[in-house]
Structure 1
Amino acid sequence: MKNYSAYLIDLDGTMYRGKEVIAEARQFIEHLQANGIPYRYVTNNSSRTPEDTAKKLQNFGIEASVEQIVTASMAAAAHIKSHFPEARAFAIGERGLTDALKEVGIEIVEESPDVVIMGIDRENNYKKLRNACLYVQQGAEFLATNPDIKVPTEKGLVPGNGAFIKLVENVTGVEPTVIGKPKRHMIDFALEQIGANAEDTIMVGDNYDTDILAGMEAGLDTLHVHTGVTTLDEIKNKDRRPTYSIETLEEWFK
């Protein structure tokens, strides 16, 4: 096993499942800390702020600071500010997204936007989706924080943001620019924050279609853990396989 100088770590399905902590997660993080290895939590969950996410981890007994959190909303806001600095945004999403947009000075509007940005919104409704479709057809840039079709919870899999962006894509015929995993935008954003090189960093996650593919796209080695979405049998059927695949995080440092 190669020694890595930095780790990017998924949350849902890797550190916890919904309201339940994954037993080996705390020990995994404690090992990184004990060896002075820097890491960032990299999550496609666009609904929570970094403060919310850090608090959730802390409540599970997992060490986390706000500075260690990288969300798809943060990366999306940075992307919009960089590529469309004067853009006005129509946002479907929760506080994690709207706070991230406001943090970098992006104006959120209900009419005539330059950008439509979609994140998970548990108060979503027909009017919001209808307006998103209309604005994209009128020429607004279409972006999405993440494409997760399903999300693991303690009760089972539930719809993710990808289920809703597919609706808008099917109506408009326009494919969104995805910022979160499996695209590399958020990985590059996290690497820049941590000051690490791709070749010396490993991406850790449970979902092949997001975590593992994002790591591959960004040139990182990848560690697949069988505690969330993608099973070992599914991994065996992939043409491109993760660098490593283990049952639980407890196995990694043995």
Structure 2
Amino acid sequence: MAEKSYKGYLLDLDGTVYKGKTAIVEAVQFIRKLKERSLPYLYVTNNSSLTPAQLKERLENIGIEAKEGDFFTSSMAAAAVMKNMDKHKNHTQASSEIRVLAIGETGLHTALATAGFQIVNQPPASYVVVGIDRSFTYEKMKHATLAINQGAAFISTNRDRAVPTEEGLVPGNGAITASIACATGKEPMYVGKPEAAIVNLALERLHLQTKEVLLIGDNLETDIAAGAKSGMDTLLVYTGFSRKEDVEKSAVKPTYTAEHLLQWNI
């Protein structure tokens, strides 16, 4: 199945390439075909907790060759958005002098450090950025609230209210962000899917235009919605979150659907 050919691909990870610690067989073969034909692609993920090095290791553990440059995370997108915001403010400060109060895990802290920001855990700060943080505390919420009330820009890596685990659905970054939004009365700028920001930044990394790239994912609410907001063609695969009946009820429609990735002819 293929209605048109594309010069590049943006791929979701969980539910599209793997489920938990298990690779989706058809996805492995699809990625192999992309490599054989030298077609550029990026894994675009809302996962803010892991670094590209950790994601590379995760894929290699399930038999998929990867390099760190293959990944673009919501943490990396947040850092890029903040750099762009800072340019527009015409700051004379170097990034290393810009204080960022970061709530999150290794992936977020690494992305911010790589971008050159000064990471702090209490105000004052120019930015408050929130990613999934499984050691989130009242004290962290308090410091974030104080910083935002003092004028810090409020950024969140994604809206994910809950995330699937072996135990079932557990609170996601959206739940943490909502607590700070409630305390401050201010809504953050979200950068992860379904927002267009992460997709547009990923396209810049591929050096391709919107019409030249197909976005592939398993989730109507995040992957396909992000593609729609960016004006991209999308492929929904039924290997993860969304089902056929979801498409019928949804206002967001994928350009294409497939049972699995091998039904898509490159």
Q: TM-score range by the shorter chain?
A: over 0.9
| Identity value in percent | 45
Which whole-Å CA distance do the structure 2 matches of 1:142 and 1:123 have between them?
20
Which whole-Å CA distance do the structure 2 matches of 1:176 and 1:187 have between them?
18
Partner of residue 92 from structure 1, selected from 103, 111, 132 = 103
Which whole-Å CA distance do the structure 2 matches of 1:169 and 1:118 have between them?
11
The structural deviation recorded for 1:80 is 1.0
Query: In the alignment, which residue of structure 1 is the partner of 2:66?
Result: 64
Which whole-Å CA distance do the structure 2 matches of 1:74 and 1:133 have between them?
23
Summarize the alignment of residues 17-166 of structure 1 with structure 2, pairs less than 5 Å apart.
17-84=19-86, 86=93, 87-109=98-120, 110-166=122-178
Please, which moves more after superposition, 213-222 or 20-29? 20-29
Which whole-Å CA distance do the structure 2 matches of 1:68 and 1:30 have between them?
14
Which whole-Å CA distance do the structure 1 matches of 2:169 and 2:19 have between them?
10
Instruction: Specify the SS of the correspondent of 2:254.
Output: coil
The count of aligned residue pairs is 254
Query: In the alignment, which residue of structure 2 is the partner of 1:185?
Result: 197
Is the 1:17–1:152 contact (alpha carbons within 8 Å) kept by the matching residues of 2? no
The structural deviation recorded for 1:73 is 0.8
Partner of residue 245 from structure 1, selected from 243, 250, 257 = 257
CA distances 1:192-251 after superposition (whole Å, capped 9, x unpaired): 111111101011111111111111111110111122222221111112301012222232
Across the aligned residues of Structure 1 and Structure 2, the Cα RMSD in angstroms comes to: 1.6
Q: Which amino acid aligns with 1:25?
A: A
Which whole-Å CA distance do the structure 2 matches of 1:231 and 1:135 have between them?
41
The structural deviation recorded for 1:4 is 0.9
Instruction: Identify unmatched segments of 5+ residues in structure 1.
Output: none
- Return closer, same or farther for 1:71/1:245 CA change in 2, 3 Å cut-off: same
Query: In the alignment, which residue of structure 2 is the partner of 1:13?
Result: 15
Q: Which amino acid aligns with 2:82?
A: I
The structural deviation recorded for 1:158 is 2.8
Q: Which amino acid aligns with 1:175?
A: E
Q: Which amino acid aligns with 2:178?
A: K
Which whole-Å CA distance do the structure 2 matches of 1:252 and 1:167 have between them?
41
Partner of residue 214 from structure 1, selected from 202, 226, 230 = 226
Is the 2:193–2:223 contact (alpha carbons within 8 Å) kept by the matching residues of 1? yes
The structural deviation recorded for 1:189 is 1.1
CA distances 1:171-194 after superposition (whole Å, capped 9, x unpaired): 222111011111111111111111
Is the 2:21–2:62 contact (alpha carbons within 8 Å) kept by the matching residues of 1? no
Instruction: Specify the SS of the correspondent of 2:25.
Output: coil
Is the 1:143–1:177 contact (alpha carbons within 8 Å) kept by the matching residues of 2? yes
The structural deviation recorded for 1:20 is 2.3
Which whole-Å CA distance do the structure 1 matches of 2:29 and 2:59 have between them?
13
Which whole-Å CA distance do the structure 1 matches of 2:55 and 2:127 have between them?
26
Is the 1:152–1:229 contact (alpha carbons within 8 Å) kept by the matching residues of 2? no
- Return closer, same or farther for 1:155/1:19 CA change in 2, 3 Å cut-off: farther
Instruction: Identify unmatched segments of 5+ residues in structure 2.
Output: 88-92
Query: In the alignment, which residue of structure 2 is the partner of 1:224?
Result: 236
Which whole-Å CA distance do the structure 2 matches of 1:145 and 1:35 have between them?
33
CA distances 1:72-130 after superposition (whole Å, capped 9, x unpaired): 11111111122126431100001111111111110111221111000011111221122
Which whole-Å CA distance do the structure 2 matches of 1:232 and 1:70 have between them?
28
